[in-house]
Amino acid sequence: MKVSKGELKKIIKEEIEKVHHNTSLMEDTLTEEEKKHWRKQCRREKLQVDLEKNWQLLSEASIWNIVTKYMDAGFIIVSADRSCEATIGASECSEEQQEQQDHLNRENRNKLRKILKSSGFGYVPTLGGFKEKLIDKETGEVVTDPETGDPVLVDTKHPEHSFIVHSQKGAKPGDNHEELRELGLSIASQFNQDSILYKPPNAVDPKAYYLTREGEIDMEFADFTVEDLDQIFYTQLAKGTQRRYTHIPEHVERAYYIPRPPNGMQEAVKRYGETFYRMK
């Protein structure tokens, strides 16, 4: 039986609602381990629907092209997210603690978006995560698509949100890069971030820098590359220097997302300040 894309989305939505309903009904009878499983399942389902509806997947080359477009004028990369472990100061969080942190991160992202809108600088929301190869639980082997033979990939449950903010305000882009730097430091302080990524205009300084919230240089990149960009998007600025450079397992692939462009004028006005891209 063939179904349209709209019908498929409706079916997925109905199934998610069933999961929430059934979880609520069985809340008193489930064990803690079963509750944990249901919460993880709900989070993963909601993430998949959000990615399909609101985001577009990019290649490494595409996201790198977007960033290098702003090299001459300068840019910052900032985040309002905190990892649950960093917030509570522990090596592991419970599902309840993770849900609370997810809620707080969503609130802080909305606050940060308002700050960026009022700043006058353009910005591009980004979502960095991993696409993980699906492993057969019985055989331990990678599941492949029967038609293409390619590994089946699924999104991991904790993608990382950040914003590329570019210095293109005013008649001469790049002239206000110091103002952009100060905006980034203010954001880091307000949202309890350990650092920001600051790239001055190439004409001023070809290097890029991790800056602490106090404005001190934490790390510098003499030749800013796509590998450096990976570290920014995949280890979360909020994790701090001790956990910044984490090992990327062999069974996962990097995944970059940016929002889909607006469908009409009304949505475009609502998303004022955001820089839109339509990727093929």
Domain boundaries defined on the chain: 57-270
* pLDDT of 261 higher than 80: yes
Beta bridge partners of 99: none
* Helix, strand, coil shares, percent, the chain, to 5: 40, 20, 35
pLDDT in tens, 91-149: 677 878 888 988 999 999 999 999 999 998 999 998 875 455 566 767 877 778 888 88
Model confidence band, residue 150 (pLDDT cutoffs 50, 70, 90): confident
Length of the chain (residues): 280
190: helix, coil or strand?
helix
In the block, tokens 């960095």 appear at: 128
Q: Which has the closest alpha carbon to 54: 261, 203, 245?
A: 261
Tokens linked to 254: 């990097």
* pLDDT of 181 higher than 60: yes
In the block, tokens 């082997």 appear at: 141
Please name the helix (run of DSSP H) or strand (run of DSSP E) that holds residue 130, with its range, or none. Answer: strand 122-133
CA atoms within 13 A on the CB side of 258: 23
Counting residues of the chain whose pLDDT is more than 70, the rounded percentage is 65
pLDDT recorded at residue 246: 40
Record the pTM. 0.72
pLDDT recorded at residue 62: 83
Cα 132 to chain centroid, rounded: 16
pLDDT recorded at residue 198: 93
Please name the helix (run of DSSP H) or strand (run of DSSP E) that holds residue 58, with its range, or none. Answer: strand 55-58
Contacts of 153 (CB under 8 A, 6+ apart): 131, 132, 133, 134, 253
Beta bridge partners of 58: 256
Contact 165, 35 (CB under 8 A): no
Contacts of 32 (CB under 8 A, 6+ apart): none
pLDDT recorded at residue 190: 95
- CA dihedral 188→43→227→173, nearest 10 degrees, is -50
Q: What average pLDDT score do residues 256-277 get?
A: 92
